[in-house]
Structures are given as C-alpha cells and as structure tokens.
Copies of this chain bind each other. A is one copy, B any other.
C-alpha cells in the first residue's frame, strides 16, 4: 500500500484487504513475537498474580496537535492509568476504528508514534483490531487501548486513601495538553508555542512508589483537569483538600491562552502529569526526587489534606480568599483526549 492510498471500507471487511492493511501498514512498525502471530488473542506469561487492568478510548480532534498525536496519546493515556494504580505496565492492546478515506500516510504517522511511545514506556503491544466505518460515520480515527500491568509490591495507592495531614503534590505544570489541542483546533496562534505534555509516567510513578505505603494516592489529571482529579480524591477519601493558588505551576503561555479561550487551567486536561497525595514527612524527599527527572522538573507541593469540610476541594486564592473548586460539568472541552 502506498502512502497516497486511502483507507477503504473493504479494509475493514476481514478479507484480503484487511490482511493487506494489517501486514503492510499496521504490523511492521509494531512487530514483536507475540503480535506477529496475528492470532485471535495473545498468549503471555504474567510475572506475578497482582494485576491491574484498564481501558481508554481516544477520540481527540484534531488527530495531530503540537507535542503529539492520537497514537502517542493512546499509548501514554493507558500506560498512565496503569501507573496511577501502582502498576508496572506490561501489555497493551490497540484497536483502531478508521473512517473510510483516512490517508494511509496519516495512519503510518500515528503508528510510528505508537511505536515510539510504547518503546519509551517499555510496554509491548500484544493484540490489535481494525475496523472501518463509512465516511461521515466516524472522525478520521478513534483508538482504544487496554492495558495490563503488574501491581508493584507494597503499593497501597487508591483514591480513597488520602488522610488528614497529607501533602498534595503535582509533578509539573498544569493545562498544557488541553490548551495545545484547543489552540490547534480553534486555529489560534500564540507567540509562545503551546505544546502538549503527553508522556508516559510509569517510570516517574515507580520512582515515587519506592516510598511504599507512604504514598497514599496517585492520579493523572486528564479530562476535567486538576479540579476533577482532586474532587475525585476528596470524595472517595471523604476529606477536604486545600490547594494554594500561588503554588500551582501554570506556564505563562497556558495561562494567557486560557484567558483568551475562557478556560480555567485547573479544569484543562493534562496527559503527562500526576497528583500525589503522601505522608507529609515524605514531601521534601518526593518533590526532590521528582525534580531530578525531566518529567518532574516542575514538581511542586500545592496543598494539604484536612478532615473538614469533607468531600470538598478549596482554593486559597492569591489575594487571601478561599473558593470552592467545583467539579467541572464537562461542557468546556469536548474531545480533548
């Protein structure tokens, strides 16, 4: 198949054309001993019994955005969900729903990103599926990845595990992914380049999880941003999370773009950041460890956990006031991931 070809409906029919698409386009960049068998399922050997399983579909529009594309996102997003559950990612599945007419060249670009991101995250793509829908019944390309990981021993992270007195850390700047996608979608050009932070966090998470049971919660603030992640933790743990506005790392360009677009950077999706809730005695050591790594260089202590008022997230504003952070309703940013 040439790069100038387009995907046809028949490429999803399960016959010769499907075989051609898989063998000539999809398999070559991803080839490994398990995947190349192209069997109904992949046989693997688990290195231990405590597994984590997750799934996510990716419907980001546009498919390509500054700093990444839907392929990199589909690998990192699912790898990060495993990492946030305290697992070492092992295997991914990769399922495409292609809209008839997608240029093969675009699919190849996405596959190359999948390959690179999977190598970065040290995860193996073991099973796949490809479907094609008629023009006007899809949106270029949707990807689903499911992931299986091995839970790291001694890890007790869970959204319900935050305790009064805990520290709240974020591993870097907020809002980069969502603003990069939105600015590309809206055709807005900013002088400073806005770039998605999409990256695999498993390695960074593992380095934090060496602090064992002192790490109470790990969460990646994707859809709904930091606000949604903190609200989830506050509700699940029935605690109050207080964050300080002046401690929140937000790039100037992101803050500016959010102003222009009418968005709150705290509600905007991130794809390469984590929120960590930990024993307060470990705060300095964890922030220090994070800052030694490229993906954690802007890590910051942003707040603390109190007992009351329960199931609440409060923002101490720059001018000394306090406001409730409400979970976003979800209208602001469709199809950001």
A254 CB to closest chain B CB (Å) equals 18
Check if A42 sits within 8 Å of B50, measured CB to CB: no
In the assembled complex, A5 has its CB within 8 A of some CB on chain B: no
Residue in chain B with minimal CB distance to A39: B159
The 4 closest A-B pairs by CB, nearest first: A14-B223, A13-B330, A15-B330, A146-B146
Complex Cα spacing A9 to B330, Å = 8
In the assembled complex, A216 has its CB within 8 A of some CB on chain B: no
Number of interface residues, chain A, beta carbon within 8 A? 85
Interface string of A222-250 (1 = CB under 8 A from B): 11100010000000000000000000000
Q: Given A129-B57, A151-B43, are A228 and B14 neighbors across the interface (CB < 8 Å)?
A: yes
Interface string of A120-139 (1 = CB under 8 A from B): 00000011110111101111
Q: A12 touches which one: B14, B18, B220, B334 (CB < 8 A)?
A: B334
A228 CB to closest chain B CB (Å) equals 6
Which residues of B are found within 8 Å of A146, using beta-carbon distances?
55, 93, 95, 127, 144, 146
A14 CB to closest chain B CB (Å) equals 2
CB within 8 Å of B: which A302-335 residues: 326-335
Q: A78-86, A102-110, A293-301: which lies at the B interface?
A: A78-86
Check if A41 sits within 8 Å of B328, measured CB to CB: no
In the assembled complex, A148 has its CB within 8 A of some CB on chain B: yes
Complex Cα spacing A14 to B85, Å = 19
Interface string of A11-54 (1 = CB under 8 A from B): 11111111100000000000000000101111111110111111
In the assembled complex, A91 has its CB within 8 A of some CB on chain B: yes
Interface string of A154-178 (1 = CB under 8 A from B): 0000111000000000000000000
Which residues of B are found within 8 Å of A65, using beta-carbon distances?
none
Q: Given A10-B334, A39-B159, are A55 and B137 neighbors across the interface (CB < 8 Å)?
A: no
In the assembled complex, A200 has its CB within 8 A of some CB on chain B: no
Chain B CB within 10 Å, residue with most, of A41, A95, A148, A151 = A41
Complex Cα spacing A138 to B12, Å = 16
In the assembled complex, A202 has its CB within 8 A of some CB on chain B: no
A239 CB to closest chain B CB (Å) equals 17
In the assembled complex, A182 has its CB within 8 A of some CB on chain B: no
Which residues of B are found within 8 Å of A128, using beta-carbon distances?
55
